[in-house]
Amino acid sequence: QWLHAVALGFEHPGSGEWVEFSSSYPDDLQHALDVIREAD
């Protein structure tokens, strides 16, 4: 079981400014997703 957000955005509680973060999938999760997608 994995929990991973590729993108996350929210209003900064101190400044009220909208902030966004992004990240690639970790290698092990990317591999698992590739295997599942190839099986379809």
What pLDDT was estimated at residue 5?
87
Tracing tokens 């591999």 back to the chain, one arrives at 31
C-alpha distance from residue 17 to each of 6, 7, 8 (Å): 20, 17, 14
What pLDDT was estimated at residue 17?
98
C-alpha distance from residue 28 to each of 2, 22, 34 (Å): 10, 18, 10
1-40 tens-digit pLDDT: 778 889 999 999 999 999 999 999 999 999 999 999 999 7
